[in-house]
Amino acid sequence: MIKLISVVLFVITGFACFSQTTYIHCGKLINGITPDPLLEMTIVTEGDKIINISKGYTAVPTGSKLIDLKNRTVMPGLIDAHVHISGETSRNRYTEDFVLNPEDFAFRAVGYAERTLFARFTTVRDLGGTTTLALRNAINSGYIKGPRIIAAGKSIATTGGHADPTNGMNREFMNDPEAKDGVINGADEAVKAVRQRYKEGSDVIKITATGGVLSNAKDGAGAHFSEAEINAVVAYYPPVVTIKALETGPRIQATFAKAFKAGVKIAFGTDAGVFMHGKNFREFEYMTEAGMPPMIAIQSATVAGADLLGMSDKIGSIEKGKLADIIAVDGDPIKDIKVMKEVRFVMKEGIVYKQ
């Protein structure tokens, strides 16, 4: 009987906390939809949802909570559509697989996840990682803090391709990875690899259809990294990688500018993990330097990202009925995109993680 009463009390207490109504007074509001920021707005959240948005600073009823962001710019939680949250680049990257266990990578990833959330990215799409599926589940269960993760699990490659985990190893370690390892040759093995990812719980499938800059293999055609990212990692990588990085890096901003001017729809994606997690905001600076207006850059990490992930009904904009993923920064990012660096407030699904 005592155990039963304890469980009931826990459920009731949790429900009461979860259902609290919160009023957020916003000095400026970038809702992800309108072309210009809205001034002096109020967002009302209840539980994990936005239940109302109104003009002016609405009076807060007794029993409700007030969050005063009148001196800040408020916007939807950001979306990074390309990260690798299981790891982070270092001079030891190519030897760590031989000395660390999956548990070691998992514990590191906990810190990367929290750092990413505190950098105001409330949703990420992880495109290849050894511990990401378990990390996603732990975040969803409330065990650890982190962004909402859309996870690909192991990337799929051909033998010797970008995501072949044995590239650059000697014969003893190289062996012959199979479909279960994400390495395929032929249609039948491709089907098996996809079904294995489904079995493991992947949300999306990633295939490395071309070579990659940071794989320890010769062909790097079609790889896209910013020059700053390349500079952060190139010093400790094998010569074959350095050559590709130096060749590809300088082309990226120019290629991005051409794509934007041609009308290509762009969603924000940084490849975080090949540089330090939590520095994702620097992509906004690179995008605007290449000619993208600040508002469009912000929308690439909000409504465009949500559209790419097929989650426009839940995230990407501040609208009634959507999840309460809300962030705030000092200053006006439309006038100075660099203020995106200074995060002051992070709410994910109605829970405040930074204020």
pLDDT for 182 = 64
Q: Are residues 333 and 216 in the same domain?
A: no
**What confidence tens digit (pLDDT) does each residue in 169-217 have?**
546 555 666 666 667 776 777 777 777 778 778 888 777 765 554 454 5
- Strands (DSSP E) contained in 12-170 are 21-29, 38-46, 49-55, 65-76, 78-83, 121-126, 148-151, 157-158
Q: Are residues 71 and 91 in the same domain?
A: no
Structural domain includes residue 305: no
Q: Which domain holds residue 70?
A: 2-75+317-354
pLDDT for 272 = 86
pLDDT for 156 = 76
Q: Are residues 152 and 244 in the same domain?
A: yes
Burial class (CB in 10 A: 0-12, 13-18, 19+), 174: middle
pLDDT for 164 = 59
Q: Are residues 264 and 205 in the same domain?
A: yes
In the chain (355 residues long), the average pLDDT of successive 10-residue segments reads: 36 46 97 95 97 96 95 96 82 70 86 92 88 90 93 74 57 61 71 78 75 50 36 49 62 84 92 85 92 95 95 96 96 93 91 91
CATH number at residue 66: 2.30.40.10
Structural domain includes residue 310: no
Q: Are residues 84 and 231 in the same domain?
A: yes
Structural domain includes residue 303: no
pLDDT for 300 = 96
Supply the DSSP symbol for 131.
S
Q: Are residues 154 and 109 in the same domain?
A: yes
Q: Are residues 117 and 192 in the same domain?
A: yes
Q: Are residues 102 and 244 in the same domain?
A: yes
Closest CA to 224 of 239, 244, 243, 204: 244
Alpha-helix runs per DSSP H in the chain: 2-18, 93-99, 102-118, 132-140, 171-174, 187-200, 227-233, 239-248, 252-261, 282-289, 294-300, 303-309
Structural domain includes residue 294: no
pLDDT for 198 = 81
CATH number at residue 153: 3.20.20.140
pLDDT for 2 = 40
Q: Are residues 229 and 205 in the same domain?
A: yes
What's the order of all strands across the beta sheet hosting 343-348? Answer: 49-55, 38-46, 21-29, 65-76, 326-330, 343-348, 351-354
pLDDT for 146 = 95
pLDDT for 114 = 94
Structural domain includes residue 297: no
Q: Are residues 323 and 232 in the same domain?
A: no
